[in-house]
Amino acid sequence: MRTRLLLAAGAVAAWLLPYGLDSYAIHVVDVILIFAILAIGLGLAMGIAGQVNLAQVAVFGVGAYVTAILTTRAGLGFWVAAVLAVLATVVIGLVIGVPALRVQSHYLGIVTLGLALAFTSWVTNAQASGGAEGISGIPVPELPGVDLSSEYLYYYLELIVFAILLAFGLFVVRTSLGRRMRAMRDDALAAGSLGAEVPVLRMAAFLLASVYGGLGGVLYAGLIRYVAPESFNIANMFLLLGMVIIGGRQSLVGCVVGAVGLALVREALVDHPQIAQIAYGSVVVLVVVFAPTGLAGLPVRVRSAVARRRGRQGAAARLKPFQPYDPEPSRRDGETILQVDRVTKQFRGLKALDDVSLTVAAGEIRGVVGPNGSGKTTLFNVISGLYKPTRGRVRFRDADRTGDAPYRLARAGLSRTFQNLRLFGDLTVEENILVARDRSRTWESWRYLLRPISVLRRDRELHRHARDVLDRYGLAEFAALAPKSLPYGIQRRVEIARAVAAGPALLLLDEPAAGLNGEEVRQLAEIVRSIRDSGITVIIIEHNMGLVMTLCERVTVLAGGRIIADGTPAEVARTPAVIEAYLGDSMTAGDLPPISEVTR
């Protein structure tokens, strides 16, 4: 209710704002709104999807230039030109996004920055764009009954576009598409393993950013009615970047706050050019140092600081017992679900897997054990598609899945956890589950435009499912918390719940007992058994021999990348090679200390 009141007050204030402004101030506000739209787009790509996109200003330029060229040279009407301009920016956005399929983080930043520079250089030299003099005389957009040459009325046009774009951005961020993007930002590997189509999502991020950039460009062309290369130079790109970082890139509202704030600071310093650069630079540095989450992150930081000072209030969230699944009566045990056929994986000189063959039957709990460095996690990575085997095939559910992308395998019914926990750190526990639970295809995101209600309905359903999962795993009280803030044992449980929420046929657990205490290990065994009873086949890598011996029906022993034994726990324990290679001492030691291996 309070937010709605605030919102209503904000809307009324925004509507009445021009009545208190002179012609200079309204122009400033008009420009700020355009930058705010650009900042939202950049925030979607950088903050939400984690794609460092330094070509946003070029996309902005494309929108403005295409509008300018089509209206002045081709004689099209403003609105027709605007639609074509946005379409052009969509194409450009996809082109800019292509490098993201291959490179990430700062490398992507450098590539996109290069594209932005290329754009400025091109418009400076091309005939069509009017060279350094740019294009003047862009016609005023016409709207029946509204004179848009008045910057006051133009403000309302911008305000409406801005409000729609902000609302749409928030809608995306808080539902399926945005959640997946945020998951991808936090951990692209884990997101892929849970069925998020990482390449499609990256392109979608660039697409969204470029639509915002394009609309910003169209509005710019209509407002300034003149385009020149300097308007879209790198300095403006960094200004835009500053807005997003100062505002808080993970929050769209923060991006808007940053855009407004920085633009006002810039405006206030126009009369003091001597100190402007220093002051403006200081603001950016201060924010980066003292408020890394930006202005949008400040309320949360202040609240948590206050809470810390007062001491913890209220009851801390408690872990509830796991509620076992109802056994699935119609299980089709015994059929082969996974077949690893003579797989070899070579890393330069090192043979991590050497001619490994393995068959897992549906309904089984299979243990994979072996000394550190024996190739267990490599085997998981090959099965789940993170690695392509050098030789050999992997068949899953009667289909050859060798070298399939992780997200394809995930969609085919494979789910996994990671040895060193890969939870999405900036998502809540519930959102972690939601990402896994969400089985929709990313290309179906056109629904966001055409059938938003169906998106909402599906999201509500997802939330209900996620609640069920959290209840079952006793995690309901942690739903709104960040995984990072939770004890290790609970994080382990969240990761298992997340993997099961994806609804797999085969579940790969990589050292799920590492770092757990005795009671937690006992609960883990109970959970894994129940998961199997619900009809999910489980393969488990574990160093805790007690757990493996009691839990698994069959055990495969790896040493030096080869399978040295395969059979029931009792058979395996008697195999001389196993005793020699691995079990000799550790059978008596019982619980080997978990030594983290490199997952990749």
65 binds other proteins (CB under 8 A): no
Helix (H, G, I), strand (E, B) or coil at 568: coil
230 binds other proteins (CB under 8 A): yes
Task: Single out the residue of 83, 84, 104, 124 in contact with other proteins (rule: CB under 8 A).
Answer: 124
299 binds other proteins (CB under 8 A): no
167 binds other proteins (CB under 8 A): yes
Helix (H, G, I), strand (E, B) or coil at 579: helix
319 binds other proteins (CB under 8 A): no
Of 263 and 509, which has the nearer Cβ to other proteins?
263
| Widest distance between CA atoms in the chain | 91
Minimum Å gap between C-beta 25 and other proteins is 8
Site for other proteins in 171-200 (CB under 8 A): 171, 174
Site for other proteins in 383-402 (CB under 8 A): none
Walk across the sheet containing 537-541 and list its strands: 414-416, 506-510, 537-541, 365-369, 554-559, 562-567
Residue 436: phi, psi to the nearest 5? -70, -40
265 binds other proteins (CB under 8 A): no
- Quickly list DSSP for 75-106: ---HHHHHHHHHHHHHHHHHHHHGGGGT--HH
125 binds other proteins (CB under 8 A): yes
Minimum Å gap between C-beta 7 and other proteins is 6
136 binds other proteins (CB under 8 A): yes
# of chain residues touching other proteins (CB under 8 A): 61
454 binds other proteins (CB under 8 A): no
98 binds other proteins (CB under 8 A): no
Residue 591: phi, psi to the nearest 5? -125, 105
Minimum Å gap between C-beta 263 and other proteins is 10
CA distance 62 to 128: 12
Minimum Å gap between C-beta 32 and other proteins is 10
| Separation in Å, CA 445 to CA 180, 408, 590 | 12, 18, 51
Minimum Å gap between C-beta 260 and other proteins is 15
Q: Which two structure tokens, joined as six digits, stand for 465?
A: 């499912």
Minimum Å gap between C-beta 313 and other proteins is 25
User: Is 205:196 a contact under the CB 8 Å cutoff?
Assistant: no
213 binds other proteins (CB under 8 A): no
Site for other proteins in 266-285 (CB under 8 A): 266-267, 270-271, 273-274, 276-277
Task: Single out the residue of 361, 456, 482, 587 in contact with other proteins (rule: CB under 8 A).
Answer: 456
19 binds other proteins (CB under 8 A): yes
User: Is 247:259 a contact under the CB 8 Å cutoff?
Assistant: yes
Residue 539: phi, psi to the nearest 5? -115, 130
Of 11 and 350, which has the nearer Cβ to other proteins?
11
347 binds other proteins (CB under 8 A): no
229 binds other proteins (CB under 8 A): yes
348 binds other proteins (CB under 8 A): no
Of 194 and 466, which has the nearer Cβ to other proteins?
466
Of 249 and 266, which has the nearer Cβ to other proteins?
266
Minimum Å gap between C-beta 134 and other proteins is 6
Q: Which two structure tokens, joined as six digits, stand for 502?
A: 């994806």
372 binds other proteins (CB under 8 A): no
Minimum Å gap between C-beta 556 and other proteins is 48
Q: Which residue, chain included where needed, has tokens 């052009």? A: 88
Encode 430-452: b = buried (16+ Cβ within 10 Å), e = exposed. bbbbbbbbbebebeebebbeeee
Reported in sequence order, the residue ranges of 139-233 that DSSP labels E, i.e. its strands, are 226-227
Minimum Å gap between C-beta 99 and other proteins is 22
Minimum Å gap between C-beta 383 and other proteins is 39
Is beta strand 391-396 parallel, antiparallel or unpaired with respect to 399-400?
antiparallel
CA distance 509 to 384: 11
Selection from 321, 531, 317, 496 nearest residue 421 by Cα:
496
Task: Single out the residue of 33, 51, 88, 151 in contact with other proteins (rule: CB under 8 A).
Answer: 151
Site for other proteins in 30-59 (CB under 8 A): 31
CB count within 10 Å of CB 307 equals 12
User: Is 561:356 a contact under the CB 8 Å cutoff?
Assistant: yes
Minimum Å gap between C-beta 451 and other proteins is 15
Chain mean position to CA 595? 29
Q: Which residues fall within 8 angstroms of residue 590, CB to CB, at 6 or more apart?
A: 544, 545, 546
- Considering only the stretches 19-27, 287-295, 296-304, 404-412, report the one whose residues sit in contact with other proteins under the rule CB under 8 A: 19-27
Minimum Å gap between C-beta 6 and other proteins is 9
- Considering only the stretches 5-13, 377-385, 465-473, 513-521, report the one whose residues sit in contact with other proteins under the rule CB under 8 A: 5-13
Selection from 64, 111, 109 nearest residue 231 by Cα:
64
Walk across the sheet containing 336-347 and list its strands: 350-361, 336-347, 391-396, 399-400
CA distance 351 to 365: 27
161 binds other proteins (CB under 8 A): no
Task: Single out the residue of 161, 163, 482, 577 in contact with other proteins (rule: CB under 8 A).
Answer: 163
134 binds other proteins (CB under 8 A): yes
482 binds other proteins (CB under 8 A): no
Q: Which residue, chain included where needed, has tokens 């951005």? A: 169
CA distance 39 to 385: 36
User: Is 553:568 a contact under the CB 8 Å cutoff?
Assistant: yes
Q: Which residue, chain included where needed, has tokens 């359903």? A: 461
Of 169 and 561, which has the nearer Cβ to other proteins?
169
Vertex 167 angle, CA 163 and 169, to 5°: 115
Of 275 and 350, which has the nearer Cβ to other proteins?
275
Minimum Å gap between C-beta 393 and other proteins is 47
18 binds other proteins (CB under 8 A): yes
Q: Which residues bind other proteins (CB under 8 A)?
A: 3-4, 7-8, 11-12, 15-16, 18-19, 21-28, 31, 121, 124-125, 130-134, 136, 150-153, 159-160, 163-164, 167-168, 170-171, 174, 220, 224-226, 228-231, 233, 235-236, 266-267, 270-271, 273-274, 276-277, 456
